[in-house]
Amino acid sequence: MMNFSNPCKNRLIVYLRICSYHILFILLSSIDVQAQKVVMPVLAFPGAEGFGRYVTGGRNGKIIKVINLNDHGPGSFRAAIESSGSRIIVFEVSGIIALEKGIQLLNPNVTINGQTAPGEGITITNYPVSVNANNVIIRFLRFRMGDAKQVEADALGGFEHKDIIVDHCSMSWSTDECLSFYNNDNLTLQWCIIAESLRKSAHSKGAHGYGGIWGGRMASFHHNLMANHDSRNPRFGEREGTAYALTDLVDMRNNVFYNWGSNSAYGGEAMRINIVNNYYKPGPATKIKNRIFSIDKYMKNSASPIYNQWGKFYISGNVIAGEKQATADNWTFGVYNQFNSRYGEVS
């Protein structure tokens, strides 16, 4: 006797199997689609690059209008800076804000949009501006400290904070460095002019005129012009002798350096630094024309965690006008030949 399968039963089994497969496929597809929905962070503003590109500043905060050029009081730039909460500072005036004392930016979550000023924009004079807060965006301002008040300071600077981006600003006529940012996390300085520090002015050491001290953990310095400083073009460094340098990372690329005097870039004790695709143009004050970077070691205190340690550097693609050898081989003719013999053998 032959046994025949029930075709209806078989069809039912096949149907159920197909349905089960499709149900499983739909569920798995749904899970896969959900897994791919990655929310990308929003740029600080169009054109923001580097490690500070995702700073939010005062996004979604209140709008504060600067309506006069007074040093202080309602409607002033200082009042806007000293306010709290997420805020976006805009300008309804243009001209010179002559400070009567330095400005300390202490409250976080702020965007300063200097490009909103009518006419020829905003210039800040007489005293320094210090960034002592997290999550800060500064754009399109001119910092011209000058020496009228005989103050020894940088035009703009900030230390030991995080999430900062400075864009399309200019800093000049400082009595110490023009601009110094170090020991900060997630920082970008881009499309800025750092120029003409005052060499013989109010500094206690006498002749000074320095560009800046640059460092940080995930710190980008790109597309800037640094010009007409005697030294520190820049000086790479963190807080002296501290372990911070062991975990930092500085990326300096696509900048222009012009007319450095006694020294271009130096320092970098125990730091990690990229120096890539920068353009160097010696000027009438330049003494050592082929110098890209003079690397140092920290030797002052043997108890320091960075004592006698070389940093780690990637140096490539830099061009020095008029110096074919250093341009073709950055390391051999622009860095290695600049080492100071007091540090002993390079390793």
Local confidence pLDDT in tens for the 347 residues of the chain: 444 344 344 443 333 343 444 444 444 455 555 556 788 899 999 999 999 999 999 999 999 999 999 999 999 999 999 999 999 999 999 999 999 999 999 999 999 999 999 999 999 999 999 999 999 999 999 999 999 999 999 999 999 999 999 999 999 999 999 999 999 999 999 999 999 999 888 787 877 789 999 999 999 999 999 999 999 999 999 999 999 999 999 999 999 999 999 999 999 999 999 999 999 999 999 999 999 999 999 999 999 999 999 999 999 999 999 999 999 999 999 998 888 777 767 66
Q: Are residues 134 and 156 in the same domain?
A: no
Based on the number of CB atoms within 10 Å of its own CB, is 284 exposed (0-12), middle (13-18) or buried (19 or more)?
exposed
Q: Are residues 224 and 257 in the same domain?
A: yes
User: CA-to-CA distance for 93 and 67, rounded, in angstroms?
Assistant: 6
Q: Which of 53, 142, 217, 232 is catalytic?
A: 232
Q: Are residues 95 and 243 in the same domain?
A: no
Report pLDDT for 206. 75
Report pLDDT for 34. 56
Structural domain contains residue 129: yes
Is 272 annotated in the active site?
no
Structural domain contains residue 30: no
User: CA-to-CA distance for 28 and 70, rounded, in angstroms?
Assistant: 63
Structural domain contains residue 92: yes
Report pLDDT for 270. 97
Q: Are residues 168 and 104 in the same domain?
A: no
Q: Are residues 276 and 249 in the same domain?
A: yes
Q: Are residues 338 and 207 in the same domain?
A: yes
Structural domain contains residue 43: no
Q: Are residues 166 and 256 in the same domain?
A: yes
Q: Are residues 164 and 263 in the same domain?
A: yes
Report pLDDT for 35. 58
How many structural domains compose the chain?
A: 2
The single-letter DSSP state of residue 41 is: P
Structural domain contains residue 6: no
Q: Are residues 139 and 238 in the same domain?
A: no
Q: Are residues 169 and 297 in the same domain?
A: yes
Order the strands of the 179-182 sheet from edge to edge: 103-105, 129-131, 156-159, 179-182, 213-214, 235-236, 265-267, 293-295
Report pLDDT for 24. 44
Structural domain contains residue 41: no
Structural domain contains residue 22: no
Q: Do residues 232 and 205 touch, judged by C-beta distance below 8 A? A: no
Q: Are residues 307 and 221 in the same domain?
A: yes
Q: Are residues 121 and 234 in the same domain?
A: no
Structural domain contains residue 26: no
Nearest to 71, CA basis, from 109, 97, 35: 97
Of 93, 112, 144, the last residue of a domain is 144
Q: Do residues 44 and 56 touch, judged by C-beta distance below 8 A? A: yes
User: CA-to-CA distance for 77 and 53, rounded, in angstroms?
Assistant: 25
**Domain range spanning residue 71?**
51-144
Of 144, 162, 189, the last residue of a domain is 144
Of 98, 120, 144, the last residue of a domain is 144
